[in-house]
Structure 1
Amino acid sequence: MRKMLMACVVALSVAGSVAAADRPVAPNGIALYPDYLSWKVIAPSYREDKGQIRIITGNETAVAALKAGKKPLPDGSVLAKVAWKAEKHPSFPVATEPDAFVQVEFMVKDARKYKDTGGWGFARFVGNKLQPYGKDAGFVAECFGCHTPVAGNDYLFTRMVRTP
């Protein structure tokens, strides 16, 4: 787990960023946060059904609340889930590392604006061109539907990773 976390942190540190003027916008109006790769890592994850290594990062508001154990997270909290296809290391096949970038997803907390989706706005940007996901704003039903099983945890699957 530590090796996977370190590999993902290295991948985050060398990945490029998007200039503010070039920010793509999801159909529901949420723009890509260009600094998501510089946010603090909350936790790594592995999605077996998708074969993806993911890193969840958070802005300062989200990280402070998670560290303090505050739920629900306060308005202004933003989480990013960055996903890469998992690939066996060619020289060390027992190791799995990030390969091709898949997508970045955002959860944006605003209890009033997003009251119909548990206080969270959702956005997804796919592929190297960071193409906004969804034909219209109704795509959020898919995101919210996935998160409803964890409604009692402020719709979050992720918690701060524990380290000594």
Structure 2
Amino acid sequence: MKGIGHEAQEQGHDSGSRGSARYPGRYGLRAGQARAESPSGIAFSDFKGYEDWAVVSSARTDEVLKVIVANPTMIEAFKAGIPGNGQPFPDGSRIVKLQWKPKKSSEATFAVDVPDVFTQAFVIEKDGKKFPNSGGWGYALFNYDAASDKFTADPSPSDCGHACHVAVKAKDHIFHPYQKR
């Protein structure tokens, strides 16, 4: 299976928007490239434009810095009070957890971790017809390879996927709330 790589011009962006291993930029299918799809049937190309989605939240483990972004459908739902109002997110809601290895900043005058090498994108999409057995949510993990500048679907069962998200079933299977700003 071929991965997904940069092709900024294909998405209407000048070559200056191309990313680096540290901060990947615009991703899209290259001409003639196969559609990268996860074992769960989720295609990374279905998340086109995620780089410009609004930030929902962030998280950090000992090994990974994470930024969680959501598409406009999901952001509107958050702003309408979902899931706190007991309503589920609508079909078409999409969320991406962008993951970097952290490093200590060499420029800041205080101790702070900053993103180093981009490693993965964990994606979640709501489609009740496509994913009826998991609360309507589908999960997939795409690994980023800096050397080839491509994403490939992880063949494992999509990180933790639905099994982990059952813990927050009362919040329509979503861990991170839309953070106040």
- TM-score exceeds 0.5: yes
**Would you say 1:145 and 2:158 are equivalent positions?**
no
8 A contact 1:61–1:77 mirrored in 2: yes
TM-score by length of 2: 0.73
- CA offsets 1:43-91 (integer angstroms, 9 cap, x no match): 111123xx21111111110000011112310001000110001111123
| 1:115 CA displacement | 1.5
Q: Which amino acid aligns with 2:100?
A: W
Indicate which of 123, 132, 141 corresponds to 2:153: 132
Q: Unpaired segments of 5 or more residues in structure 2?
A: 1-19
| 1:140 CA displacement | 4.9
Q: Which amino acid aligns with 1:133?
A: D
Q: Tell me what 1:19 maps to.
A: 28
Indicate which of 95, 106, 110 corresponds to 1:79: 95
Any idea what SS the aligned residue of 2:168 has? helix
Q: Unpaired segments of 5 or more residues in structure 1?
A: 1-10
Q: State which drifts further: 87-96 or 149-158.
A: 87-96
Any idea what SS the aligned residue of 2:111 has? strand
8 A contact 2:97–2:123 mirrored in 1: yes
Query: For the structure 1 residues 66 and 57, does the alpha-carbon distance in structure 2 shift closer, same or farther, using more than 3 Å as the test?
Result: same
Any idea what SS the aligned residue of 1:152 has? helix
Indicate which of 37, 40, 57 corresponds to 1:43: 57
Partners of 1:140 and 1:130 lie apart in 2 by 14
Partners of 2:132 and 2:43 lie apart in 1 by 19
Superposed CA RMSD in Å reads 2.0
**Count of paired positions:** 146
Residue identity over aligned pairs, in percent, reads: 30
| 1:113 CA displacement | 1.8
Any idea what SS the aligned residue of 2:79 has? helix
Partners of 2:42 and 2:98 lie apart in 1 by 16
Indicate which of 16, 25, 28 corresponds to 2:40: 28
| Structure with greater proportional helix content | 1
Any idea what SS the aligned residue of 1:94 has? coil
TM-score by length of 1: 0.80
Task: Give 1 or 2 for the bigger CA radius of gyration.
Answer: 2
Q: Moved runs in structure 1, 4+ residues, more than 4 A?
A: none
